[in-house]
Amino acid sequence: MPIYEIITYVKAMADSTKPINKEADRRTFLKIGTGVVAGAAIATVAGVVYYDSVISGNNNSSSSTVSSLQGQVSSLNNQLTSTQAQLNSANSQLSGVSTQLSSTQQALTSANGQITSLTSQVSSLNSAVTSANSQVSTLTGQVNTLQSNLDSDAVFLVLNTNEQTELKAIVSAIIPTDSTGPGATEAGCAYFIDHQLKGLYGNDGNCYVGGPYIQANTQTPVTYGGVTYNGATVTYNVAGTTYTVKYPPTGNVRVGAGTRYQYPWNKREFWRLALAGIQTYANAAYGGNFETLSATNQTAVLTDMWNNKPTAAQFSGILPSDFAYELFFLTWAGFGMDPVYGGNRGMVGWTYTGFNGVNQGNFYNEGMTTKQIMVNTSPITLKPASLGQYQKGSP
């Protein structure tokens, strides 16, 4: 019988609480020799006592260790419980934060929607403002045009609409608007001429207008009113008074001479007939009214007039070069005369040509004297000033 079985048996016998199978135990016991049994019993008893002591010590130690471990486990469980409670609290807080984030996200989404809506409204308002500004600009232009038309310097007083259109094109061809600066259009030359035709010039004011009318540069005898003018002395009676006058054929008179104008019409009618003559010639020679021609053909028409290329019949008996002179002279007058006479609007003609008008060096506080300007070795360009400004005493 192995020693561990003997120990188990003896221990079982010593354990009063454990039931013993006596018959089985007896049989087992009798199989063992007496000497062996005695020695084994002693050893067994000693071993049992020893092992019980060890086992009992081990049990007590294990129980203490277990109790300690159980305390630690209990402590860990408490910690886990506390941690779990903290986690639950944190989860609850996270849930609250998530709820707040969700609410904030919804608010942001709503705000973004409102911003988008407001942006659209702002864009719409900007478009409306742009449209309104455009309308204001258009209305301002119309008001300026109406104001300009109300200005006496921008209203035709004599010429009809067809003549106005033609004259505007003519003066623009003489002094065009280009990259170098303004022209007759900006200076209002057409209106200036029309206003001159309305006044003394158009009515031959201060001029002798009685006949006979003998064209300039006439070298052969001329018969007028039954009288032949060939250098002879002529006697005629006017209202009971007898006059003796020598009328020789005219000599070589320059275009600008006052004696060159030998026509029975006043200047107003003279211009009407001559403007009609230009249209007649432009259509016959270049295929259209003057204002419809190319710039090259417009220049050609004006050049032909200086060279007397149109026939007298086309100009109603007016020598084309005579009208060409009047046309060019008044156009340049409208561009370069003082604005008080109705032309040179804004002094654009003076600004373009560098003429200072009545500015003698300090009208705009330039700080220069007339003497300084006269002796200066380099040209000085002054801003022009008109008679109207001078009379007012300030710019």
Task: Please check whether residues 101 and 188 belong to one and the same domain.
Answer: no
Encode pLDDT of 143-170 as tens digits: 444 444 445 567 999 999 999 999 999 9
Strand partners, 169: none
Task: Please check whether residues 170 and 91 belong to one and the same domain.
Answer: no
On whether residue 190 sits in a domain, the answer given is yes
What percent of the chain lies above the pLDDT cut of 90?
A: 37
On whether residue 224 sits in a domain, the answer given is no
Distance in angstroms (rounded) separating the CA atoms of residues 192 and 168: 11
* Cβ contact 182:348 at 8 Å: yes
Task: Please check whether residues 164 and 110 belong to one and the same domain.
Answer: no
- Least confident range from 60-74, 131-145, 250-264, 352-366: namely 131-145
On whether residue 52 sits in a domain, the answer given is yes
The dihedral over CA atoms of 364, 368, 370, 375, expressed in degrees to the nearest 10, equals -140
Task: Please check whether residues 10 and 109 belong to one and the same domain.
Answer: yes
Q: Over 50: is that where the pLDDT of 39 sits?
A: no
Query: What is the pLDDT at residue 163?
Result: 98
* Cβ contact 320:311 at 8 Å: no
Distance in angstroms (rounded) separating the CA atoms of residues 191 and 279: 20
Count of other CB atoms within 10 angstroms of residue 11: 16
Q: Which of 98, 114, 130 is the last residue before a domain boundary?
A: 114
Task: Please check whether residues 58 and 165 belong to one and the same domain.
Answer: no
Task: Please check whether residues 65 and 199 belong to one and the same domain.
Answer: no
Task: Please check whether residues 191 and 283 belong to one and the same domain.
Answer: yes
Q: Which of 57, 83, 114 is the last residue before a domain boundary?
A: 114
On whether residue 214 sits in a domain, the answer given is no
Task: Please check whether residues 341 and 203 belong to one and the same domain.
Answer: yes
On whether residue 37 sits in a domain, the answer given is yes
Q: Which of 90, 114, 138 is the last residue before a domain boundary?
A: 114
On whether residue 315 sits in a domain, the answer given is yes
Q: Over 60: is that where the pLDDT of 368 sits?
A: yes
Task: Please check whether residues 13 and 75 belong to one and the same domain.
Answer: yes
Task: Please check whether residues 169 and 81 belong to one and the same domain.
Answer: no
Q: Over 60: is that where the pLDDT of 142 sits?
A: no
Count of other CB atoms within 10 angstroms of residue 282: 24
Task: Please check whether residues 92 and 182 belong to one and the same domain.
Answer: no
How many separate domains does the chain show?
A: 2
On whether residue 188 sits in a domain, the answer given is yes
Mean pLDDT score of the chain: 80
Task: Please check whether residues 193 and 89 belong to one and the same domain.
Answer: no
Q: Which residue has the higher pLDDT, 339 or 5?
A: 339
On whether residue 103 sits in a domain, the answer given is yes
Q: Which domain holds residue 55?
A: 3-114
Q: Over 60: is that where the pLDDT of 82 sits?
A: yes
Distance in angstroms (rounded) separating the CA atoms of residues 149 and 351: 24
